[in-house]
Amino acid sequence: MKKRVVGVGAALLLALVGTVLLIAYVQSAEDRALEGEEVVEVLVVGDMIPQGARASDIGGNLVLERVPSKVAVDGALTDLEGIEELVAAQDLYPGEQLSRRRFIERIEVNAFARTEPAPEGLLEITLSMSPERFVGGSVVPGDLVAIVASFGEFDIGGVTLPENFDASLTKEELDELEKIYFIDNKLLSGDKVGSTTHILEHKVFVTHVQVEEQPRTAVDEDGNPTTTSLAPTGNLLVTIAVDAPAVERIVFTKEFGTIWMAAEPEDASEEGTTLVTRANVFAESNLR
């Protein structure tokens, strides 16, 4: 009987020693893999965290891991201090590094979760917008916005008007001349047009807003690039409903200029706008 007890005890001792040695080996292998790397600690999702979960309630779903700094996501967190009252903007999955960008105010996740149907006869188009160009992300589906277009200096292949140019010509007569252009009913000539800003569309209906994500590229232990979970870019995907001509103007601006969106309630005035250039940017609106 004593021999049996001794045998069981020895087996347990060997198992314990083996476990300790295995842990030490794994830790040593991890240390070797990170040797020469700048290492940081980040919180990683252990168990799936559902959209809307409060940060103060998810501590049990997280583990603290060491990773090379070059694969740490922007805004990676080492603790939950300062975001306790925020909620997850979307589902967070195991293996994903925890980022501040994944958390928003509770009211925001409820607002973004819905989609408003587009008014009949309109087309829908989605634009990637940084928060500062989209009223700080405060606009939600169902709101109205003004679309503002800005262009830097660009070539028009025009000609410089002579000093004796007949300024009494009508717009129709000017239209017949080559390399004379009008933008917003303003006569332009020369090879280039200076920087310009103007509102393209008023009272545009927002149908959907969501956080933009892209696959995050990391590096494995052998230095090979790998694609891991999606990570937020910091931008918002804003879907708006406009008519076909507006789609063309908006896409052109997005491709060759920049777009801003301004919150524009139904009763906001549309008067006093004009094509803004460096020549009149400091002028009073009623003098333009």
Q: What is the 3-state secondary structure (H, E, C) of 8-48?
A: HHHHHHHHHHHHHHHHHHHHHHHHHHCCCCCEEEEEEECCC
Residue 92 DSSP code: B
Give yes or no for a contact between 71 and 229, defined as CB atoms under 8 angstroms apart: no
Give yes or no for a contact between 160 and 226, defined as CB atoms under 8 angstroms apart: no
Question: Which domains are assigned to the chain?
Answer: 39-110 (3.90.1210.10), 116-153+194-287 (no CATH)
Model's pTM, two decimal places? 0.53
Give yes or no for a contact between 124 and 239, defined as CB atoms under 8 angstroms apart: yes
Between CA 48 and CA 35 the distance in angstroms is 31
Which structure tokens are listed for 153? 């200096």
pLDDT in tens, the chain (288 residues): 555 555 555 566 665 655 654 554 445 545 554 555 788 899 999 998 887 788 999 989 999 998 887 778 888 898 999 888 888 877 888 888 888 888 887 756 655 666 889 999 999 999 999 888 998 877 888 999 999 999 987 665 544 555 555 555 555 655 555 545 555 555 555 455 678 899 999 999 999 988 776 666 666 667 676 655 565 567 888 999 999 999 999 999 999 999 999 999 999 999 989 888 887 888 765 444
